[in-house]
């Protein structure tokens, strides 16, 4: 199911929010790809590899920026944020390695569900703490 951006996800940092919206787009693009496969289109391994590469690159840049923001603002959840990011990267790295061998519709659906759930919980529980950080107006 597509995920929809709403005000509850706003962190107070327009760059972080914009990056989060792009991450929502990645998940929604994955959802659209899954729908085409469910409708009978073959799994195009090159398309999946390109998608995974692009997502990995974007997530790496986003996590670095967000972690920098939390550090500069002295956000009390900065260390936890970094730990949770590392766990998602470990999941994603494992997924990408398996996908190089073989990728199935079920794997793609698991990736979509994991990313959608993770984004919702992570943003609402950790990332929004940016706006309440002691130095929130600093960037």
Tens-place pLDDT, residues 66-97: 999 999 999 999 999 999 999 999 999 999 99
* pTM for this predicted structure: 0.91
| Opening angle at CA 39, ends 36 and 41, nearest 5 | 60
Tokens of 76: 């009390």
Residue with the larger pLDDT of the pair 125 and 135: 125
The rounded distance, in Å, linking the Cα atoms of 13 and 133 is 11
Q: Compute the mean pLDDT over every residue in the chain, rounded to the nearest whole number.
A: 93
Domains and CATH numbers, the chain: 7-132 (1.20.120.50)
């Amino acid at each position: 199911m597509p995920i929809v951006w709403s005000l509850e996800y706003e962190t107070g940092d327009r760059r972080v929010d914009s990056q989060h919206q792009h991450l929502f787009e990645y998940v929604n693009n994955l959802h659209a790809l899954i729908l085409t496969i469910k409708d009978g289109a073959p799994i195009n391994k090159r398309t999946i590899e390109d998608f995974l590469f692009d997502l990995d690159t974007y997530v790496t840049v986003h996590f670095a920026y967000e972690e920098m923001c939390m550090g500069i603002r002295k956000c009390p959840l900065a260390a936890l944020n970094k730990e949770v990011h590392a766990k998602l990267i470990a999941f994603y790295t494992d997924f990408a390695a398996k996908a190089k061998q073989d990728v199935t519709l079920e794997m793609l659906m698991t990736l979509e569900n994991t990313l959608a759930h993770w984004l919702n919980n992570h943003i609402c529980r950790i990332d929004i703490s940016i706006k309440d950080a002691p130095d929130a107006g600093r960037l």
